Amino acid sequence: MDQFNFSGNVPMAYTRRSFLGHGLILASAAATVPAFISRSALGMNAAAATGVTSLSGVPQDRVLVVVQLAGGNDGLNTVVPFGDGAYYRARPSLAIPAKSVLKLGKNADFGLHPQLSGLNDLYDQGQLSVILGVGYPNPNRSHFKSMDIWHTADTTGTGTGWLGRYFDNDCGGKPTDLLGAPAQAPMGGISIGREAPLALKGAKAQPIGFESAELFQWLGKGVDDKLANPYDQVNRRGTSPGVDPTSSAGFLMRTALDAQISSDQIRKAVSQKPLVAYPGNELARQLAMVSSMIRAGVPTRVYYVTLGGFDTHAGQGGENGRHAQLMQQLGSSLKAFYADLKAQGNDTRVLTMSFSEFGRRVSQNASGGTDHGTAAPMFLAGPMVRPGIIGDQPSLTDLDAGDLKYKLDFRGIYAGVLGQWLKADASKVLEGSYRAVDIIGKT
């Protein structure tokens, strides 16, 4: 509550009219009025209340969707080096048979897991980049630390998120609130999940996070009918001319009112029936919600979704099994997502990037699985990407204590996404200079 000054100048105070007049605004809703006053909600309000969502020269129509593969995806069974005998020697029961691999070109030595047919279709359409050997110096094999490193783009794993810094630097503009005071927080990103990822958290910009649109609503009546009437009274008083809008009471009332309006709008947006059929899995559900928000014109340029379950120490399986199921979810969900975006006419606006905190070791373990490793592939999807294979596969015999030696620093991928797609100052956002990987083929 320390960021609010109720004594005179209210940095972020909004009216019902401002919400209705500027499209979709997101705010977390709960059964008590104070819970409406969230930094994440206000971060989005600041930009939308003024119609200013970016600095001059920053394209407002481009969208980035991040797909996090949580748990450490086995890169060698994702992009399969079927032309290398060392792969089959290291994985006698887990290796994907060469005849089953979805080959990336007639003469390629690499191919996709047989359950990644959805990604293979995007590849054949020229809408997929397969980036090999991505990692960072002195890799950390802890899930939490390595994920923090990817989220902050800092090998110490400390500081704000790289996408949060993008919003801090490039998306704030110089908006003012409806009272003419400077708005302090730029619009943030949107994540679907139990909690917003560190990657989206900036010094000023804070993300919106929710699991389902049904949570974006006033829950008082659902808990107890007695709670509905006091809430309605708060809303009515918030529109009364006798309430000072700069007072703490007026601020609380109008924040509660606006949160209800925004929750109604987001639920309406997500309730739109997708234009294509999505598969019945969790990642597809998340991407369908993202697609609906893009279709509805939600004013953010970054969405974040997560597919978990990749920590396959035991019972991983090769062509079939747990990892194969995850591959099928990833491929089929992204294929449906881009089919939906194309039906909307939005596919050329949306770049999707997938990553995992690390890969797995080259050799399988005694439990029919793989242990924490280092370098792994990334995927970029969308009509604008530079299609095909980017980078080189690390050697399967020249190893670092049993692990692959990375070829591309992941921050070079970030620099390409920031500079070439989002048109941001990558060195400023990443707080260092990294050689940007060319990721864009056409725009």
Q: What is the mean pLDDT of each run of 10 residues along the chain (443 residues)?
A: 32 33 36 38 40 48 96 98 97 97 89 98 98 97 97 97 94 47 57 91 87 60 57 52 54 50 65 93 96 88 96 96 98 98 97 98 97 98 97 96 96 98 97 97 77
pLDDT, residue 205, reads: 87
How many CA atoms, within 13 angstroms, populate the side-chain half-sphere of residue 358? Answer: 27
Quote the pLDDT of residue 18.
Answer: 35
**pLDDT reported for residue 194:** 82
User: Of all helices (H) and strands (E), which one includes residue 65?
Assistant: strand 63-69
Please count the CA atoms within 13 angstroms of the CA of 176 that sit on its side-chain side.
6
C-alpha–C-alpha distance, residues 329 and 350, integer Å: 20
Which of 201, 318, 218, 221 lies closest to 260 in space, CA to CA?
218
Taking alpha carbons only, the member of 422, 310, 364 closest to residue 69 is 310
Beta carbons within 10 angstroms of residue 21's beta carbon: 11
Enter the tokens of residue 31. 């059964």
Does the pTM of the predicted model rise above 0.85?
A: no
Backbone angles phi, psi at 68, to 5 degrees: -90, 125
d(CA 153, CA 143): 15
- In what helix (H) or strand (E) does residue 160 lie, and over which residues does it extend? none
Go through the chain and tell me how many residues it has.
Answer: 443
The pair of structure tokens assigned to 227 is 């709670």
- Running DSSP on this structure, what letter comes out for residue 102? E
Question: What's the pLDDT at 45?
Answer: 44
Domains of the chain: 62-212+279-430 (3.40.720)
Terminal CA-to-CA distance of the chain, rounded, Å? Answer: 43
